[in-house]
Amino acid sequence: MDFNHYFTNEELSKLLKDWEAKYHDLIQVSTIGKSHEGQPIWLLTLTNQATGPDLEKPAVWIDANIHATEITGTTSAIYIAYHLLTGYGKDEQITRQLDQSVYYIVPRVNPDGAAWAMGPNPRYVRSGVRPYPWEEKDEGLFTQDINEDGKILQMRIEDPNGDWKISSLDPRLMEKRAPNENGGTYYRLLPEGMLEDFDGYLIKVARPLEGLDFNRNFPFEWRTEGEQHGAGPYPTSEPEIRALVDSVIKHSNINLAITFHTFSRVILRPYSTKADDDMNTDDLWVFKKIGELGSKITGYRCVSTFHDFKYHPKEVTTGAFDDWMYDHQGVFTYTIELWDLPTEAGIKDRKWIEWWRDHPHEEDLQILKWVEEHASPEAYMEWKPFTHPQLGQIELGGWNNMFTWRNPPLSYVESEVKRHYPFMLSLGEMLPHLSINNLEVKKIGDDKFHLNLVVENTGFLPTFTSQQGKTRQSSRPVRVELVLPEGASLTSGKHREELGHMEGRSNKLDLGANSADSPTDNRARKEWVIQAGVGTKILLKILSERAGSITREVELI
Ligand SMILES: [Zn+2]
């Protein structure tokens, strides 16, 4: 399969149907719901069906492309699914993981937005294609491909009061006019587009008609339009997000989650809204430990959104998927921002968001040179005169953002996404996992049997996933049920017993030798005395939401 590729909705649907036919034991293709425009939102359930249903196994959740133009995420999700499917039966780790656990993959949360972004006359929206918050257009400039070349570039208009000038380093580039500069030729830079209600003088860039941001529509600390743009009229108001939230809630076996976005080459972790000091410390340590591993594997740094990825130093974002998953569900969740053009072009130690505000102009040239050598000739367009129906003589040119800044040039897609697959396999190794350590039947008298059961969690994460999960009671303690046939009865113990929660190794990260209060806190033990005839068969069910379930038949002999 070629992964230097961006999948259209049609290609995606066809591929998933093919996979379902070819790998029917390993993949179930279903939908979590439909988009605003009625397109299916696919969910892949990857597990070996022969070893038990998905809900009885611990799971990793992966989704992508919630933001319309961030289509690299879809290729990343498909890359992961493909390698899991084709590796089963050949690779020990993949085989074991798909036998014991589940990967849920939603490769494209936002098919409507992706279709707009990938169309022959592309339209770029943040998320949804539904007009929001108003049905009618605001006045001002709307981004649009006005010369029908299939690209949305920039417009430059000569103006003595412009804040830009032609670059002193390379005439193709634009450079900011310095505070003390006067008497030259200056320009205003605007996105390519048309104006609504233009009076001939005043230009403001209008708020986009399709102003939704799906990653503000989750229930965690959701805020109104007056406080945060694009979050929708109420939490989960948008069908895509409602479907996603419902699906996560139905899959109470999820412990770890990844959502693929672009760009910046960074692994973001909660919170977006508060400092690390205000988080549960144990969970923070686990977040950091998994993040460190992610950094080692992918080369991406792992940071808190609050501390290192705020769009404005004094403003936070709320209603995001990762915060909701962690805060409400107790699931360790990371947002991976794929690809970074400046880093690829050799600009080191960039401060993501601050860089956009200001950086040395030499770096713009460095990026342009990289693009010239490695990307399509259409990645940066030279300035060409154009007669704008409203603005008159202008020039069109500059960055074709879609396959430079927002997504990698086509020949760089695979190298960008492939580094995340081993990180996903690592997450699969960390899931909590129940196993029977000891199950002993001892005949202690006529028709009397003693049953000893020791259950253990063999995973890294505990059966409650995180301290936050425990606080929120997002999973129940582990239970055990004995199903006895007619004629058999319990002399000691109950039919339903609570084993309680079991730790994994995530509470033993401290390098101190006795880091855990109880080294065997991953185990639980119960005993019963059963009155039954020799040869009676009883059923033992060990039940857990997050760590999988076990059913075992026991013969009393
Ligand atoms: Zn995004």
Task: Tell me the one-letter amino acid at 306.
Answer: F
Distance 305 CA to ligand 1 centre (A): 13
Instruction: Tell me how far the alpha carbon of residue 406 lies from the centroid of ligand 1, in angstroms.
Output: 10
Alpha carbon of 472 to ligand 1 centroid (Å): 27
Quick one: tokens of 384?
């060409």
Q: How far is the CA of 231 from the centre of ligand 1 (A)?
A: 14
User: Ligand 1 centre and the CA of 424: distance in Å?
Assistant: 19
- pLDDT exceeds cutoff 80 at 515: no
Q: How far is the CA of 39 from the centre of ligand 1 (A)?
A: 20
Nearest to 320 by CA among 341, 339, 337, 297: 337
Instruction: Using the mean position of ligand 1's atoms as its centre, give its distance from the Cα of residue 352 in Å.
Output: 14
What DSSP designation does 410 have?
G
**Distance of alpha carbon 339 from alpha carbon 527, whole angstroms:** 55
The answer to whether residues 210 and 37 touch, using CB atoms and an 8 Å cutoff, is: no
Q: What distance in angstroms lies between residue 319's CA and the mean position of ligand 1's atoms?
A: 13
Q: Residue 516 above 90 pLDDT?
A: no
Burial class (CB in 10 A: 0-12, 13-18, 19+), 50: exposed
pLDDT of residue 353: 81
The DSSP secondary-structure symbol of 107 reads S
CA 163 to ligand 1 center in whole angstroms:
29
Ligand 1: centre distance to CA 70 (Å): 6
217 CA to middle of ligand 1, Å?
13
Distance from Cα 77 to the centre of ligand 1, integer Å: 15
In this prediction, residue 33 has a pLDDT band, given cuts at 50, 70 and 90, of: very high
DSSP per position, 359-404: --HHHHHHHHHHHHHHS-TTSEEEEEEEEETTTEEEEEEEE-GGGT
Query: Could you tell me the distance, in angstroms and rounded to a whole number, from the CA of residue 262 to the centre of ligand 1?
Result: 6
**Which of 179, 117, 184 is closest to 151 using CA atoms?**
117
CA distance 556 to 449: 7
Q: For residue 504, what are its two tokens? A: 């994994």
Q: For the residues of 521-532, what is the DSSP string, one character each?
A: TTEEEEEEEEE-
Average of per-residue pLDDT values in the chain: 96
Task: Quote the ligand 1 centre to 378 CA distance (angstroms).
Answer: 24
Distance 261 CA to ligand 1 centre (A): 4
Going from the Cα of 104 to the center of ligand 1, the distance in angstroms, rounded, reads: 20
Ligand 1 centroid – CA 241 distance (Å):
14
Please calculate the CA angle 3-7-10 and round it to the nearest 5 degrees: 140
Q: What is the pLDDT of residues 219-265, one digit of tens each?
A: 999 999 999 999 999 999 999 999 999 999 999 999 999 999 999 99
Q: Render 159-220 in DSSP notation, one character per residue.
A: -TT-SEEE-SS-TTSEEEPPTT--SS--EEEEESEEEES--SS---BPPPSB---GGG-SST
Dihedral sign of CA atoms 434, 437, 443, 445 in order = negative
176 Cα to the center of ligand 1, angstroms: 27
- Does the structure show a pLDDT above 70 at 173? yes
- Distance from C-alpha of 269 to C-alpha of 468, rounded to nearest angstrom: 14
> Could you give the CA distance from residue 61 to residue 103 in angstroms, rounded to a whole number?
6
Nearest to 502 by CA among 521, 481, 526: 521
**CA 302 to ligand 1 center in whole angstroms:** 16
- Residue 311 CA, ligand 1 centroid: distance in Å: 13
Q: How far is the CA of 215 from the centre of ligand 1 (A)?
A: 8
Q: What is the CA(67)–ligand 1 centre distance, in A?
A: 5
The pTM is what? 0.96
What separation, in Å, do the N-terminal and C-terminal C-alpha atoms of the chain show?
55
Rounded to an integer, the average pLDDT of 28-41 is 98
CA of residue 443 to ligand 1 center, whole Å: 62
| Residue 514 predicted with pLDDT over 80 | no
Kindly state the tokens that stand for 304: 């808190």
State the average pLDDT over residues 33-61.
98
Rounded mean pLDDT, 430-435: 98
**Phi, psi of 393, deg, nearest 5:** -70, 115
The CA 272 to ligand 1 mean position distance, Å, reads 14
Separation of CA 66 and ligand 1 centre (Å): 7
CA of 381 to the centre of ligand 1 (A): 25
Q: Which of 224, 254, 226 is nearest to 237 (CA)?
A: 224
Q: How far is the CA of 25 from the centre of ligand 1 (A)?
A: 33
CA–centroid distance, 37 to ligand 1, in Å, is 21
| Portion of the chain with pLDDT greater than 70, in percent | 99
Please give the Cα distance from 65 to 260 (Å, whole number). 7
pLDDT value, residue 421: 98
Average pLDDT over residues 334-342: 97
| Cβ neighbours of 458 (radius 10 Å) | 16
Return the number of other C-beta atoms located less than 10 Å from residue 148's C-beta.
Answer: 9
Strands 266-269 and 301-304: parallel
Name the residue type at position 477: P
CA distance 361 to 371: 16
Nearest to 390 by CA among 159, 122, 146, 191: 146
Distance 214 CA to ligand 1 centre (A): 9
Helix axes 281-298, 421-429, angle to 10 degrees: 140
For position 194, what pLDDT does the model report? 96
Question: From ligand 1's centre to the CA of 223, what distance in Å?
Answer: 18
Query: How many residues comprise the chain?
Result: 557
64 CA distance to ligand 1 middle (Å): 9
Q: Model confidence over 339-388: pLDDT tens digits?
A: 999 999 999 888 878 898 999 999 999 999 999 999 988 899 999 999 99
